[in-house]
Amino acid sequence: MTTYQQAMDFLLNRTNFEQKQSTSYRHTDFKLDRMKQLLEELGNPQRLQSIHIAGTKGKGSTAHMVAACLQSAGHRVGLFTSPHLEKYEERIQIDGEMINQSQLIEQTQVLKTAVESLRSKSDAHEPTFFELTTALAWLCFRDANVDVAVMEVGLGGRLDSTNICHPQVTVITSIGIDHTEQLGNTITKIASEKAGIIKSGIPVISGCKLPDAQQVIREKCQQLNCPLWEVDSEITYSSFQSSKSGQLRHNINIGDRSITDLSLPLLGKHQVRNLATALGAVLKAVDTMDNHPPSISDATIKSAIENLKILGRQEILHTRPLTLLDVAHNTDSTQALIQTLKNQTLPPKGRRVLVFGSARDKPYQEQLTDLIPHFDDLILTAATSSQRCCPPEDLKASLLPSAEINISIAQTPVEAIEKARQLAQKTGLIVVSGSFYLAGEIRPLLKAWQEKRQPHSHVIA
């Protein structure tokens, strides 16, 4: 294996549940035995200090915040997230930088050798795309000698391939209804799957606010003798407007420690809760990490958070018209986006245009019902990169005849964003939402447009 394309072909030519319709956990591909065998064949690269993060909403943002704070404090940090927006390598970062193609090729060859060895020993199902990707991350982190690996769960928790790690701290962010085919159709069932990452005696940070989810996590922590810090209890937060700059600032209280006057460059009130959850995880992790100072300064935390950038999370990519990209793909994330749209700091004078695409197995009807009242125009489209995408005609058919909005269909994301620009002109608002895949295809279009029209403009994350 000598080329980047050969490496990607090896990884992508696997069972890939990110690209498939929802598959029940009854399927034989959802189990941890195969992942354990693969990691043993690789020499157990997952035996690193780590922080494990699950949740329906906010786990990616929280993972980025945790990694940024630890890196700012001088730790060498690996970060594993999914899915990616534009490049596969986004999933695996070391000290804030994506792995390069040489690293990808080298470690994929190691994976290939391990898979071939396992194949010679057994006729069991081979590792899936996500299992190989998770193993690839641990190989990269081990060889880079990271101090800590921040691992975001892909799906659920109990049966996720990341759940082989033995973390310093376990984190569960907001829990809501999503992935019901695999996780169940109630908050209690979904919370039970997420709580499957909790390990005996390992501290837990919980950002959950739904009582049923909280109860599941509390009971699991009690059973496994795990210290539990909950947002709104041991961890609290508040926000205020700075008298000097007029910007929103935040105070986070964690136990008897207060970190005040924080500036968070991410849109959405939900991100403040994610920040509180992340800082709780950071402080608890630093307390438990080997051979490192026992504390992290307020100045270090402030610097990390103020310089934080996360792709696709209510990301502003242009100002004329105001163009916002968001990967909201469930009802909770959509509600967070709506709260931002109600913010008086985003008052476009022109038309509000929503570009929307979704996977077939997502609650797109509910999302569109919630979003439509906040827009003048709706452009329905589908990403070209995923088999799971719902045809725009089906999206339109799901809407009630009484929906009061101008609806049009675009067969490609390129057509959709061009039509949105025509409608919004320079004074309006364009929001792209509904899918990671749609965001991943439209983001480079928006970047290219920005660079062509305003080469000196600044991307606000």
Please give the share of the chain, as a percent, with pLDDT higher than 90. 67
Phi/psi of residue 120, nearest 5 degrees: -70, -20
Q: Residue 181: pLDDT above 90?
A: no
- pLDDT recorded at residue 183: 66
Q: CB of 231 within 8 A of CB of 300?
A: no
| Element spanning 251, H or E | strand 248-254
**Model pLDDT for residues 47-82, shown as the tens digit of each residue:** 999 999 999 889 999 999 999 999 999 999 999 999
- Domain ranges for the chain, please list them: 4-306, 315-453
Please give the share of the chain, as a percent, with pLDDT higher than 70. 89
- pLDDT recorded at residue 390: 93
Q: Residue 434: pLDDT above 80?
A: yes
CATH of domain 315-453: 3.90.190.20
- pLDDT recorded at residue 449: 74
Q: What number of other Cβ atoms are within 10 A of residue 96's Cβ?
A: 14
Q: How far is CA 206 from its chain centroid?
A: 17
Q: How far is CA 300 from its chain centroid?
A: 24
Can you give the pTM of this predicted structure?
A: 0.89
Q: Residue 34: pLDDT above 50?
A: yes
Q: Return d(Cα 281, Cα 350) in angstroms, integer.
A: 42
Task: Give the mean model confidence (pLDDT) for residues 286-302.
Answer: 82
**Model pLDDT for residues 198-248, shown as the tens digit of each residue:** 999 999 999 999 999 999 999 999 999 999 999 999 999 999 887 666 678
Q: Which CATH class is domain 4-306?
A: alpha beta
Q: Residue 457: pLDDT above 50?
A: no
Q: Return d(Cα 105, Cα 120) in angstroms, integer.
A: 23
DSSP 57: B
- pLDDT recorded at residue 16: 61
Residue environment code for 280-303, b if the CB has 16+ CB neighbours within 10 A, otherwise e: bbbbbbbeebeebeeebeeebbbe
Q: Residue 286: pLDDT above 60?
A: yes
**Model pLDDT for residues 369-419, shown as the tens digit of each residue:** 999 999 999 999 999 887 888 999 999 999 987 778 999 999 999 999 999
Task: Give the mean model confidence (pLDDT) for residues 162-186.
Answer: 82
**Burial bucket for residue 13 (CB in 10 Å: 0-12, 13-18, 19+):** exposed
The region of weakest confidence among 142-146, 274-278, 317-321 is 317-321
Phi/psi of residue 343, nearest 5 degrees: -65, 130
Q: Return d(Cα 325, Cα 157) in angstroms, integer.
A: 27
